[in-house]
């Protein structure tokens, strides 16, 4: 090396400039690389529902719904989902009691949510409230990307 180039690389001023350049390049590389670290989260779509010991896979379910169905003593089935108090009381006057079943509908599968013999409008009202609460829990669960399993009671 010549005296001129040797003095440029060994002089204190030249070394300080080179250190500043290297530090600036390292800082720039760190700024560019940091956004890709750690912030990406991957959640699975696997959603399962546990109810009364049975496991239901909700991952590919396109439609969730509910149904309230009464089975009269003669075997006839009645959709009670949209019935008001007067209509239910009329059925109870005609038949002193009958079985009501609430279902959670998942595409082509039905899950029996509750099955009970009713003798009054308040029995039906309690079943409707329980079904609505269960459906609300399922809807919140499906909307939460982080949750993978729901245990209904």
pTM of structure: 0.69
Whole-number pLDDT of residue 80: 93
Average pLDDT, rounded, for the chain: 85
Cα–Cα distance, 67 to 82 (Å, whole number): 10
pLDDT in tens, 6-59: 555 556 666 666 778 888 888 777 777 666 655 566 666 788 999 988 999 998
**Three-state secondary structure along 105-148?**
EECCEEEEEEEEEECCHHHHHHHHHHHHHHHHHHHHHHHCCCCC
Residue 74 banded pLDDT, cuts 50, 70, 90: very high
Q: What is the mean pLDDT of residues 93-122?
A: 93
Pairing of strands 149-151, 54-57: unpaired
For residue 113, what are its two tokens?
């949510």
Whole-number pLDDT of residue 23: 83
Whole-number pLDDT of residue 2: 56
Any idea which residue has 């239901």 for tokens?
A: 56
Whole-number pLDDT of residue 153: 80
């Amino acid at each position: 090396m010549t005296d001129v180039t040797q003095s440029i690389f060994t002089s204190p001023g030249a070394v300080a400039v080179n250190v500043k350049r290297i530090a600036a390049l390292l800082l720039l590389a760190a700024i560019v690389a940091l956004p890709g670290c750690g912030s990406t989260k991957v959640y699975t779509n696997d959603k399962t529902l546990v109810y009364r010991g049975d496991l239901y896979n909700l991952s590919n379910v396109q439609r969730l719904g509910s149904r309230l169905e009464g089975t009269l003593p003669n075997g006839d089935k009645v959709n009670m989902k949209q019935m008001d108090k007067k209509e239910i009381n009329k059925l109870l006057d005609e038949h002193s009691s009958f079985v009501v079943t609430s279902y959670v509908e998942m595409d082509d599968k039905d899950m029996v949510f509750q099955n009970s013999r009713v003798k009054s409008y308040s029995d039906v009202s309690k079943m409707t409230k329980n079904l609505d609460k269960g459906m609300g829990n399922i809807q919140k669960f499906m909307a939460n990307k982080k949750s993978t399993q729901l245990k209904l009671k």
